Amino acid sequence: MSEKSAKTQKKSWFKGLKTEFGKVIWPDRNALVKQTTAVVTVSVCLGAIITVIDAIMKYGIDLLVR
């Protein structure tokens, strides 16, 4: 592949990328805040659930090992 062809290919790729980004429907601020809040809330809840399950399993294993 020649150097000129590589440059043309890169330009074409970036032009296509710019076109695709133009097609994206970006969320408004209100939707972004709601979605971010939902993700953080679910992450914290799942973290708490995993922590509780881990503590219960650790307690159970400690009982079995003694």
- Tens-digit pLDDT profile for residues 2-19: 666 777 887 888 999 999
pLDDT recorded at residue 9? 82
| CA angle, 24 then 30 then 32, to 5° | 50
pLDDT recorded at residue 47? 98
pLDDT recorded at residue 1? 55
In this prediction, residue 55 has a pLDDT band, given cuts at 50, 70 and 90, of very high
pLDDT recorded at residue 11? 83
Give exposure, 21-48, as e/b (b: 16+ Cβ within 10 Å).
Answer: eeeeeeeeeeeeeeeeeeeeeeeeeeee
Which ranges of 1-66 does DSSP label H, i.e. alpha helix? 3-23, 29-65
Answer with the residue of higher pLDDT: 21 or 41. Answer: 41
